[in-house]
Amino acid sequence: MANNKPTKKESRMWGGRFSEDTDALVQAFNASVEVDKIMALEDIAGSIAHATMLAEQGILTNVEAEEIIAGLADIRADILAGVFEWKLELEDVHMNIERALTERIGPLGGKLHTARSRNDQVATDFRLWLKKESLEIINLLANLRAVFVSSAETHLGVIMPGYTHLQVAQPLLFSHHLLAYYEMFSRDQERLEDSLKRLNISPLGAGALAGTGFPINRKRSAELLGFDRPADNSLDAVSDRDFALEFLAAASISMMHLSRLSEELILWSSQEFGFISLPDSHTTGSSIMPQKKNPDVAELIRGKTGRVYGHLMALLTVMKALPLAYNKDMQEDKEGVIDSIRTLKISLRLSSDMLPKIKVNAERSKHAAGRAFSNATDLADYLVGKGLPFREAHEVVGRLVAYCLAQDKDLQDLTLGEMQSVLKLIEADVFEALKLETVVNARNSYGGTALEQVRIQIERAKEALDLQE
Ligand code: ARG
């Protein structure tokens, strides 16, 4: 499509008031067709709905509308077959298609643009396209949630250390940890579903900014395109891009969740943790170190999160000081959204593919969970059970931990005598209380890590996923 010749005045769609050609560099700078042709099918759908409505309103004759629609269908077939010729000098997807229509059906093609502008057209295309993509992402999120639930079932019973400050805190069921991600991705899905309410509104017929003098029916074109309703204010309809910002914000949050997951997979598969091993299919080797298996996929997901945040920031910045209504700055709205969608979709797919193939080293994670005083809170709780106020119990256990550190032991390694030398209250039943399984299952509060609670979480998640199908 490269073209370094100036655009001839007569080949432009808006040439009437101009006497000179457009500078070649300006043409290349101004054109958006390389980016917005991704919305070609939505552009055609919008035009077909518009022509249908114009005929119903008596603004076009039925015969005219039929010819226009047949011409558009012809163009659609060429685009789908990959033989449509996109021209840079025609600037964007809208004018490429309109010019092709006129070339195919003659001057009648020029009637299609009655009662609309590229300003309502581009907002319509973008919303339709983003709706389609959002629905795909919603499906990918639902799929990932299902993967977390089935992995949680597969690994039920595996115990791992839970961390705060990346210091061992309390033991968790591995499944409980997986289900925390299920919750995050459920909210991500909900966020996108909710955004559809605001996305699925039709700008078509808003015209350049002020509406039109033709007796159009905006409800009808909205309905033909599957929108819930027409936008209520024509100026807002062509000025606003908050639907794209909302998408980018939701995508950023979802990438942040994927990035945290990736980070944990990277940590857990390191030699120091060794809780899991990642599948060969989703790791790569080193060209120099023969022993290496690197978590590149997880690292790249973590890394690509940055660009999605960047796109959100970029569009917020593009929009921040724009006066109403359309400004050419707004042509910058699509690339970042397109890249964010590509990035989020592939990251969701790869995460869904990789997770079920992870091997869990239950021994090693259980061993790690049983160390570093992850049962210290439980010893304090035990003492509370024997009548000690929690603050005092906390202090006593702190002293026992200091003693253990000096001896290089864990709490459960102490003898009853050693414990009683610090506090007489402690009895032989303490060893049962300090066992990992006891510690995990003690946390049977709603949403806690006890096996019973985790089972309930799995059941609830399965019901939610079934309801969706
Ligand atoms: N290519 C333009 C965009 O993406 C379409 C709208 C142009 N409207 C205008 N009045 N120049 O924003």
Encode the chain (469 residues) as per-residue pLDDT tens digits: 655 677 776 677 777 788 888 899 999 999 999 999 999 999 999 999 999 999 999 999 999 999 999 999 999 999 999 999 999 999 999 999 999 999 999 999 999 999 999 999 999 999 999 999 999 999 999 999 999 999 999 999 999 999 999 999 999 999 999 999 999 999 999 999 999 999 999 999 999 999 999 999 999 999 999 999 999 999 999 999 999 999 999 999 999 999 999 999 999 999 999 999 999 999 999 888 888 889 999 999 999 999 999 999 999 999 999 999 999 999 999 999 999 999 999 999 999 999 999 999 999 999 999 999 999 999 999 999 999 999 999 999 999 999 999 999 999 999 999 999 989 999 999 999 999 999 999 999 999 999 999 999 999 999 999 988 7
pLDDT at 115: 97
pLDDT at 368: 96
Q: How is residue 315 written in tokens?
A: 């569009």
Q: How far is the CA of 119 from the centre of ligand 1 (A)?
A: 6
Q: How is residue 95 written in tokens?
A: 């004018």
Task: Indicate which residue of 11, 270, 286, 421 is catalytic.
Answer: 286
| Cβ(119) – ligand 1 distance below 6 Å | yes
CATH number for the domain running over 375-464: 1.10.40.30
Task: Indicate which residue of 165, 281, 287, 445 is catalytic.
Answer: 165
The DSSP 8-state label assigned to residue 7 in this structure reads B
| Cβ(331) – ligand 1 distance below 6 Å | yes
| Cβ(126) – ligand 1 distance below 6 Å | no
Burial category of 233 from C-beta neighbours within 10 Å (exposed 0-12, middle 13-18, buried 19 and up): exposed
The DSSP 8-state label assigned to residue 32 in this structure reads -
pLDDT at 412: 94
Q: How far is the CA of 43 from the centre of ligand 1 (A)?
A: 13
CB 334 within 8 A of CB 126: yes
Phi, psi of 170 (to 5 degrees): -145, 150
Best probe residue, ligand 1, of 119, 120, 327 (max atoms within 8 Å of C-beta): 119
Q: How far is the CA of 233 from the centre of ligand 1 (A)?
A: 19
Indicate which atom in ligand 1 lies nearest the CA of residue 93.
Answer: 1
Active site residue 394: no
CA distance 388 to 397: 12
Note the maximum CA span of the chain: 101
Active site residue 134: no
| Cβ(92) – ligand 1 distance below 6 Å | yes
* Among protein residues, the one whose CA lies closest to atom 4 of ligand 1: 331
CB 243 within 8 A of CB 130: yes
Q: Reduced to 3 states, what is the DSSP secondary structure of residue 24?
A: helix
Q: How far is the CA of 91 from the centre of ligand 1 (A)?
A: 9
| Cβ(240) – ligand 1 distance below 6 Å | no
CB 135 within 8 A of CB 103: no
Q: How far is the CA of 328 from the centre of ligand 1 (A)?
A: 6
Listed residue (432, 453, 447) closest to 378, CA to CA: 432
Q: Cis peptide before 325, with omega less than 30 degrees from 0?
A: yes
Domain range annotation of the chain: 10-114, 119-149+173-365, 375-464
CA distance 421 to 378: 19
CATH number for the domain running over 10-114: 1.10.275.10
CATH number for the domain running over 119-149+173-365: 1.20.200.10
Indicate which atom in ligand 1 lies nearest the CA of residue 91.
Answer: 1
